[in-house]
Amino acid sequence: MQAVTSDGSGDERRVVDSLLERLDTYGLGRRQFVKLLAGAGVAVAAGGTLAAVGGHKRAANGAVAYTDGQFALLNWSSTGDYQVQWAKAWKDAASQLGYKSVVLDGKNDAAVQSNQFNQLLTQKTTAIFVGLNDPGALPTMAHDSNDNGVLFQAAWNSPAWYTPWHSDAEGDKYNTFLMPDEYESVSKATDVLAKQIGEEGTIVRVGGYYPSIDGCETQRRVAVYDTLKKYPKITFAGELHAKYDADLSAKAAATLLARYPDTRGIVAVNDDAATGVIAGIEAAGKVPGKDVFVTGSNGSTAGIERVLSGKQLATTGNVPAYPSFVTLAQFHDRLRGWRPEPAERFYGWHAEIITRANVEAFKARYVDRPIGESFDVALLSRTEHPDDFDLQFDGYPVENLDLIWPGVPKPKGFQFPEAYLKARRNGDFDRIRALYREHYRTPVLGPSPYGRV
């Protein structure tokens, strides 16, 4: 069996072009196709024959169904500052690696998103990344991805106590779950708010979904409760939940201010909610940043602009673009033979708390420059840069699952997966933590490494 060669005669170009045409490769570039063949150990004969490419259903060797298929992002919706940035980063990162990408609008509707997922499984789809409207759908999606040989990754929303390790009996396609340090970062932002109001007065909160089995909302909510216990002169008067929606958040803020007119601070579940909270404060005849102080989360563009102007006190800068870049890099590496170790299957990163003191550095990198230049996706890749890969964020392997679902009881009959327990026994989490510390090389608030390598 003969590998692709280049002798200057154009044979390689003719062979690869012939294969691309025959395989209907959905926009995969020639260079990327050759790299995939090389990474997978696939050989091409000079006569134009392909030794092996993919399969259709899950194969005995665990092959991915379509190495030439689309990379899909199932977005919560197409509205909201965070979702827009998340989607743009997905497209840009995929383009940098030479893959065709698609972003689907979930319209904040679990049924719509489920239909979209099922449709993707009938198409030429290589990998799916999802932010779930219904966290409870995650186990089914993981199962179906394994069954169809489609790489799978999820972020932010997961049913309580369900992890990637729980899917391993069905296959190896559920790669990693991503969630930043929500509890820790919101705690720090709430500390900033408490200090701003002199550690006394009334604080309220505008939340996301509740009741919710989603760890993101749980962590952010409990972080506020626990942090304010440190300040005996601060009264946490109450909260309303507004589904991460700006309009609903404006109404919630107005209602809370009517109930508690002496409110000095409002914790918004994220920056999209903070957009509505700011509007609600202004509608109540008060001045945000003077009469009432607001914190948010995510470091979305609108939130950063408000921190700069003084309308918003702080946000947790976990950067909406980052999960898309990390996921594209991991999918790319999976196609080239890399697999995450068991201790790497639940990935977190430490958000920067963004205030007026450091907002300009954050804005220069993540707002003023194109989203596609926020991070270098090739530098994130473990196969493109095996010795000098750069996480470009202070990442860590999530080991303490109690911090993911604080105060949420385990389901009846729950058992920790053996792969997770074995990684703990072997000290693998400590080793991976040290590895990640070594490979955090570009500071979050420093210049982007994009284009430097």
DSSP string, 2-25: ------SSSHHHHHHHHHHHHHT-
Is it the case that residue 4 has pLDDT exceeding 70?
no
Mean pLDDT, residues 68-88 taken together: 94
What's the pLDDT at 21? 43
And the tokens for 311? Answer: 């309308």
| Distances from the Cα of 314 to the Cα of 218, 224, 252, 292, 321, angstroms | 20, 14, 20, 13, 19
Q: pLDDT class for 212, splitting at 50, 70, 90?
A: low
On whether the CB atoms of residues 124 and 68 are closer than 8 A, the answer is yes
Kindly state the percentage of the chain with pLDDT values over 70: 85
- C-alpha span between 388 and 11 (Å, rounded): 34
What's the pLDDT at 214? 64
**pLDDT per position as a tens digit, 384-422:** 999 999 999 999 999 999 989 988 899 999 999 999 999
Is it the case that residue 19 has pLDDT exceeding 50?
no
On whether the CB atoms of residues 273 and 251 are closer than 8 A, the answer is no
Is it the case that residue 131 has pLDDT exceeding 70?
yes
- C-alpha span between 295 and 267 (Å, rounded): 5
Please name which of 322, 331, 422 lies closest in space to residue 376, comparing C-alpha atoms: 322
- C-alpha span between 368 and 353 (Å, rounded): 19
Q: What DSSP string runs through 295-327?
A: E-SS--HHHHHHHHHTSS-BEEE--TTHHHHHH
Q: Please give the domain boundaries of the chain with CATH numbers for all domains.
A: 1-53 (no CATH), 70-180+320-438 (3.40.50.2300), 182-317 (3.40.50.2300)
Q: pLDDT class for 225, splitting at 50, 70, 90?
A: very high
And the tokens for 60? Answer: 């005995």
**pLDDT per position as a tens digit, 256-305:** 999 999 999 999 999 999 999 999 999 999 999 999 999 999 999 999 99
Q: pLDDT class for 61, splitting at 50, 70, 90?
A: low
Residues 6+ apart with CB under 8 A from 436: 391, 395, 396, 397
- C-alpha span between 238 and 258 (Å, rounded): 12
Mean pLDDT, residues 339-344 taken together: 98
**pLDDT per position as a tens digit, 303-324:** 999 999 999 999 999 999 999 9
What's the pLDDT at 24? 38
What's the pLDDT at 146? 97
What's the pLDDT at 216? 85
More confident residue, 214 or 78: 78
More confident residue, 4 or 271: 271
Over the chain, what is the mean pLDDT? 88
Report the amino acid identity of residue 69: G
And the tokens for 371? Answer: 């989203």
What's the pLDDT at 335? 97
- C-alpha span between 214 and 158 (Å, rounded): 6
